[in-house]
């Protein structure tokens, strides 16, 4: 069942426009979902597992992460906004990639308006591995904004799969629709050297990665299923309106924005560090080879490097193992909590280039 696709989730309408088709669909238990995906019977974008509200104990870990990291996120958002202004002289159109990109996109939109006197459009659109960007969403934006103004935004990169999918999708779109859009990805943390602009390559805890829908405008991960959608539809999502009372999407944005002001007063302290993308790419590939051999992993899709990607695995996939660089690190407290609550083994691996890596269980 479908409803109108134009909405802003639980965000104010001026913060974002989700180019998504609202669906209702049954929940698939995680174990069954994993079996269907790994057997090739279903693509992961055709299935959704039930999203439950976080327990009070887990929610405390989110608030701890906010207290510890909100100032850093605020500074990084401001640096990223400055880079966007510098690289988009002909105007700015923010296009955030669901879901992790949307809170970042909302923050950027507010910062650009408040501190750069630039009121920009912000769209949240679907990108799915093996499927690509939502072509209908691209066409919708293309009718309204010049391609040289587009800025694709995400929270972080892990292996760089989404960055490659972005480039492949836009190349295909140029062939199909005759419109060339820069395949440039802007993120806060780029672990794999695959983003065009990133503030850091450090694997640090972005607090929004801890939660699912309740920090992302109450929207689910995007859905792509020809049985539910037509070629004229945007990709789908489920809107978790029943979680409205527990929603922290606007809390997250408001808290970070409150911290941005102090960094705006100290421009001399803000800078974009040099990143050696080749070195980062080599380190990423080396790790994937090492873990594939050590744990007899058949596909690198089953290796999820970095705090953000590891969290996603422990929240909604069947995890085999959690690897941690340092068992005592506060940045990975929530990962340890998730692993222990689900009886997932934890191995300390000091030579990891990242704070955490999760391995998906092969069935």
Q: What is the pTM of this model?
A: 0.94
Residues 111 and 193 in one domain: yes
Q: What is the pLDDT of residues 284-306, one digit of tens each?
A: 999 999 999 999 999 999 999 99
Residues 121 and 233 in one domain: yes
Task: Identify the pLDDT of residue 363.
Answer: 82
Residue 284: give the domain boundaries.
277-360
Residues 194 and 92 in one domain: yes
Tokens of 354: 């990242």
Number of domains the chain contains? 2
Please identify, among 251, 268, 285, the residue that sits at the C-terminal boundary of a domain.
268
Residues 342 and 260 in one domain: no
Residues 47 and 153 in one domain: yes
Residues 259 and 303 in one domain: no
Residues 104 and 14 in one domain: yes
What's the rounded Cα separation, in Å, for the pair 296 and 149?
44
Residues 78 and 133 in one domain: yes
Please identify, among 268, 287, 311, the residue that sits at the C-terminal boundary of a domain.
268
What's the rounded Cα separation, in Å, for the pair 233 and 240?
20
Residues 53 and 198 in one domain: yes
Please identify, among 239, 268, 297, the residue that sits at the C-terminal boundary of a domain.
268
Q: Within 13 Å of residue 341, how many CA atoms lie on the same side as its CB?
A: 12
Residues 41 and 13 in one domain: yes
Residues 213 and 281 in one domain: no
What's the rounded Cα separation, in Å, for the pair 172 and 238?
28
- Which regions in the chain score pLDDT beneath 70? 1-5, 267-271
Whether the Cβ atoms of residue 283 and residue 290 lie closer than 8 Å to each other: no
How does DSSP classify residue 219? Answer: B
Provide the CATH number for the domain around residue 284. Answer: 3.30.1330.30
Residues 257 and 307 in one domain: no
Cβ partners under 8 Å of residue 352, min gap 6: 287, 323, 324, 325
């Amino acid at each position: 069942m479908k409803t109108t696709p134009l909405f802003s989730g639980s965000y104010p309408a001026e913060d974002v426009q989700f180019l998504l088709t609202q669906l209702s669909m049954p929940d698939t238990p995680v174990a069954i979902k994993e079996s269907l995906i790994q057997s090739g019977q279903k693509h992961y974008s055709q299935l959704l597992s039930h999203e439950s509200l976080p327990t009070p104990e887990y929610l405390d870990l989110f608030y701890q992460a906010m207290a510890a990291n909100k100032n850093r996120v605020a500074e990084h958002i401001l640096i990223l906004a400055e880079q966007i202004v510098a690289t988009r002289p002909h105007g700015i159109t923010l296009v955030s990639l669901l879901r992790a990109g949307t809170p970042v996109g909302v923050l950027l939109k507010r910062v650009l308006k408040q501190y750069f006197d630039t009121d920009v459009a912000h769209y949240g659109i679907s990108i799915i591995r093996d499927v690509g960007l939502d072509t209908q969403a691209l066409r919708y934006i293309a009718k309204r904004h010049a391609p040289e103004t587009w800025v694709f935004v995400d929270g972080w990169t892990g292996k760089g799969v989404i960055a490659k999918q972005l480039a492949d999708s836009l190349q295909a779109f140029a062939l199909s629709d005759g419109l060339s859009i820069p395949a440039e990805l802007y993120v806060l943390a780029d672990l794999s050297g695959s983003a065009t602009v990133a503030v850091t390559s450090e694997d640090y805890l972005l607090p929004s990665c801890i939660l699912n829908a309740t920090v992302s405008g109450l929207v689910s991960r995007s859905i792509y299923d020809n049985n539910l959608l037509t070629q004229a539809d945007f990709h789908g999502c489920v809107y978790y309106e029943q979680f409205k009372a527990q929603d922290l999407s606007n809390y997250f944005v408001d808290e970070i924005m409150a911290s941005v002001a102090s960094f705006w007063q100290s421009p001399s302290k803000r800078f974009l560090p040099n990143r050696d993308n080749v070195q980062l790419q080599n380190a990423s590939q080396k790790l994937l080879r090492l873990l594939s051999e050590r744990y007899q992993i058949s596909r690198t899709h089953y290796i999820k490097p970095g705090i953000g990607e590891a969290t996603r695995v422990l929240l909604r996939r069947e995890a085999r193992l959690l690897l941690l660089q340092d068992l005592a690190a506060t940045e990975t407290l929530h990962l340890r909590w998730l692993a222990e609550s689900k009886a997932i083994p934890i191995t300390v691996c000091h030579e990891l280039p990242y704070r955490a890596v999760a391995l998906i269980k092969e069935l």
